[in-house]
Amino acid sequence: MPRIRVAACQSNTVVGDLDGNVSRTLAALAAAERSGADLAVFPELTVTGYPPEDLLGRPAFVEDNLAAFATVAAATGECAAVVGYVDVAPSGRLLNAAALCRGGQVLARYVKRILPNYGVFDEQRWFAAGEGGATLVEVAGIPVGITICEDMWFPGGPMADQAEAGARLLVNLNASPYSRGRREERLAVLGERAAETGCAIVYVNQVGGQDELVFDGASLVVDAGGSVVAGARQFAEDVLIADLDVDVGAPTPGRPSPVLASGATRAGGDGPLRPVAEVLDPVAEVYGALVLGTRDYLAKNGFTDAVIGLSGGIDSSLVAAIAVDAVGPDHVHGVAMPSRYSSEGSVTDAEVLAANLGIDLVGAPIEPAHRAFTAMLHPLLGGDPVGLTDENLQSRIRGVLLMALSNARGWIVLTTGNKSEMATGYSTLYGDSAGGFAVIKDVSKTLVYELCHHRNARAGSDLIPVAVLDKPPSAELRPDQRDDESLPPYSVLDPVMAGYVEADRSADDLVAEGFDPEAVARVVGLVDRAEYKRRQMPPGVRISGKAFGKDRRMPITNHYRSVHRAPSGPAATDQSPTVV
């Protein structure tokens, strides 16, 4: 039975960094060559990074991408390499393409046939779809078919066509963003395609952060029975080397002969050279995504340091822990900005947290600025600011201080709002929402608690103080304020929010599923009215199947309301303004 040694080259590419992506590709290819691999497979759009978005509208970018791809192709040696790039059709349309190169030559090309156009994907905006036909290459005596990402997800699709044409090994180049449960979905689809085609599959995924998206890597090699032979690490670059024994069977008369890429295998030894890497549990997986997304956003955009307003609350504590894990304690700076309404614990808990994390913390009480603004506003308002006006004023003073530090020091401000707050508008425009990156904007409040407990368990100590975890959530913008005075309890809010936002359930659907009608009407009303706020929020790490931003694009001006239609009459809806 022929044996092939494959290298799944899980690269952290950077969109638009053509020279850097070429260097990363050649370094991984050199590692594959040293390992004796017959075939190295790289992620989707290896050369440009994914997604290149409207850079593709610039002819110079497309031309430079082709030149960069030619550099990679010319550098290939004995190990064949499958590399993703942007090609141009004779019609001038752009193509999401991959090519198999060996010995400095391009031996075969493939164009992605199924272009996703949902969620975070807009590929039909940029690319033309490839047409039918299966181009096969023979590597180490094994007929190999090439596909790209979405091509794998449909029965009777390109993989089935390639197997029908005689392929016995299928390689699939991916830029598949992380979301919770995504690895299990991939495993299920890989099993289905292996069963359908009778082929072994090499699934290679990009890794790294790109704006809101995080790519988790977790590349996989499965045999013809769908069993996992080898698996790469999650959230880290990797060159996964594995040996596969592939039953090629007898040649079928009438089938075209594949392009010959290499002859005898270079593989040796028994079985895979790399076992399946440790798989993180679901909460650790989310934490890893948040750390990688934060690290790469800062590094790829030229920031070395971050500054965070530490209130002694759970959200800012979690963001600080993530930032320290992302860039190190010497590059994270905390600012405590107590007001006249802050509890003593808000300062002491921030001090304990900072000491535990090893970050510096400075104090900047906002009372002098609060008094000054109150005096300035008195003649404009005909009295001192009260209610929401006064609460938001305090938050905006804090935003001004943090942004001033950002300007003066070159630090990026990490905001601390969670998805529950983003959904309901429980935040202050130009206050706690002001900053450069919103680390936990796609993390519900209930998941915030889980992540904090996970981080403490990993530390083996109360890295995030118990007092932070135990205190009732509060913005502390008025005396004795608690979140559950303005919002439903998070145990109620979060499931309703997830159903409405992430699963696109209607209010009636949610009530039919057993949720309280009043809670549904209240949460849905808050979510709908807060769209204008969310549009002004900074980007942040996407960890769910539908995050605010690229995924969910609701019109701001929108008079449709999904409210529960009670059988006895019109639904009662919460018409109160967004909370803060």
pLDDT for position 307:
98
Is-contact 159 147, C-beta < 8 A?
yes
Judged by DSSP in three states, 58 sits in coil
CA torsion, points 410, 21, 10, 149, in degrees to nearest 10?
110
- What single-letter DSSP state applies at residue 501? I
What's residue 277's pLDDT?
Answer: 86
326: phi then psi, degrees, rounded to nearest 5: -80, -45
Q: How far apart are CA 168 and CA 136, in angstroms?
A: 10
Q: Report the distance separating Cα 9 and Cα 237, nearest Å.
A: 8
Q: Are residues 197 and 110 in the same domain?
A: yes
Tell me if 181 is assigned to some domain: yes
Whether residue 453 sits in one domain with residue 326: yes
Instruction: State residue 302's pLDDT score.
Output: 96
Q: Print the domain residue range for 131.
A: 3-268
The pLDDT of residue 411: 97
For 272, residues 6+ apart whose C-beta sits below 8 A from its C-beta are 221, 229, 230, 242, 243
Q: Cα separations (Å) of 360 from 45, 95, 187, 315? A: 41, 49, 44, 18
| Residues 104 and 241 both lie in one domain | yes
Whether 568 maps to a domain, the answer reads: no
Give me the CATH number covering residue 446.
Answer: 3.40.50.620
Select from 486, 515, 537 the last residue of a domain: 486
* Strand arrangement, sheet containing 360-363: 360-363, 332-336, 306-309, 412-415, 437-438
Indicate whether 530 belongs to any domain: no
Strand partners, 552: 548
Q: Are residues 102 and 173 in the same domain?
A: yes
DSSP secondary structure code for residue 234 in this structure: B
Of 550, 565, 553, 482, residue with least CA distance to 121: 550
Claim to verify: residue 56 and residue 180 sit in the same structural domain: yes
Q: Are residues 369 and 415 in the same domain?
A: yes
Query: Do residues 147 and 243 both lie within one domain?
Result: yes
Q: Greatest CA separation found in the chain?
A: 92
Q: Are residues 385 and 465 in the same domain?
A: yes
User: Which token pair is 201?
Assistant: 């599959």
Of 457, 486, 515, the position where a domain reaches its end is: 486
Confidence at residue 198, expressed as pLDDT on a 0 to 100 scale = 94
Write the single-letter amino acid at 89. Answer: A
**In a shared domain, residues 70 and 114:** yes
Separation CA 369–CA 366 (nearest Å): 5
The pLDDT, as a whole number, for residue 250 is 66
Task: Determine, yes or no, domain membership for 555.
Answer: no
Catalytic residue status for 149: yes
Residue 526 located in a structural domain? no
pLDDT of 235: 96
Chain position carrying tokens 């190999």? 144
Any residues with CB less than 8 A from the CB of 1 and at least 6 apart, and which? 245, 246, 247, 248
Q: Considering the domain boundaries, does residue 25 fall inside one? A: yes
44 is catalytic: yes
Which residue out of 9, 44, 300, 441 is catalytically annotated?
44
How far, in whole angstroms, is CA 531 from its chain's centroid?
A: 22
- The per-residue pLDDT for 118 is 82
Predicted local confidence at residue 451, as pLDDT: 98
Angle of CA points 361, 364, 366, to nearest 5°: 145
- How many folded domains does the chain comprise? 2
Q: CA–CA separation, 334 vs 217, rounded Å?
A: 32
Q: How many CB atoms lie within 10 A of CB 571?
A: 19
Of 268, 297, 328, the one marking the end of a domain is 268
Residues 387, 437: one domain?
yes
| 475/403 same-domain check | yes
Q: Alpha-carbon distance 501 to 547, whole Å? A: 8
* 70 domain-assigned: yes
Exactly one of 149, 212, 445, 546 is catalytic; which is it? 149
Query: Of the candidates 260, 215, 190, which has an alpha carbon nearest to the alpha carbon of residue 11?
Result: 215
Is residue 147 within 8 A of residue 171, CB to CB? The reply is yes
CA distances from 208 to 43, 171, 358, 495, 558 (A): 12, 21, 26, 29, 35
Which residues partner with 97 through β-bridges? 85, 111
| pLDDT given for residue 563 in this prediction | 65
User: Residue 244's beta-bridge partner residues?
Assistant: 4
What's the CATH code of the domain at 177? 3.60.110.10
Strand runs labelled E in 140-197: 142-148, 169-174
**E strand or H helix at 47, and its extent?**
none
In order along its 580 residues, the chain shows pLDDT tens digits of 788 999 999 999 999 999 999 999 999 999 999 999 999 999 999 999 999 999 999 999 999 999 999 999 999 999 999 999 999 999 999 999 999 999 999 999 999 998 988 888 889 899 999 987 778 999 998 999 999 999 999 999 999 999 999 999 999 999 999 999 999 999 999 999 999 999 999 999 999 999 999 999 999 999 999 999 999 999 999 999 999 988 887 666 556 667 777 766 777 655 456 678 889 999 999 999 999 999 999 999 999 999 999 999 999 999 999 999 999 999 999 999 998 888 888 899 999 999 999 999 999 999 999 999 999 999 999 999 999 999 999 999 999 999 999 999 999 999 999 999 999 999 999 999 999 999 999 999 999 999 999 999 999 999 999 999 998 877 667 777 777 777 889 999 999 999 999 999 999 999 999 999 999 999 999 999 999 999 999 999 999 999 998 888 888 888 887 666 554 433 333 333 344 5
119 and 263 in a single domain? The answer is yes
Question: In 3-state terms, what secondary structure has residue 274?
Answer: coil
Q: Which of 112, 419, 546, 550 is catalytic?
A: 112
Quick check: 409 and 303 in contact, CB under 8 A? no
Kindly state whether residue 562 falls inside one of the protein's structural domains.
no
Q: Are 106 and 118 in contact (CB under 8 A)?
A: no
Amino acid at 237: E
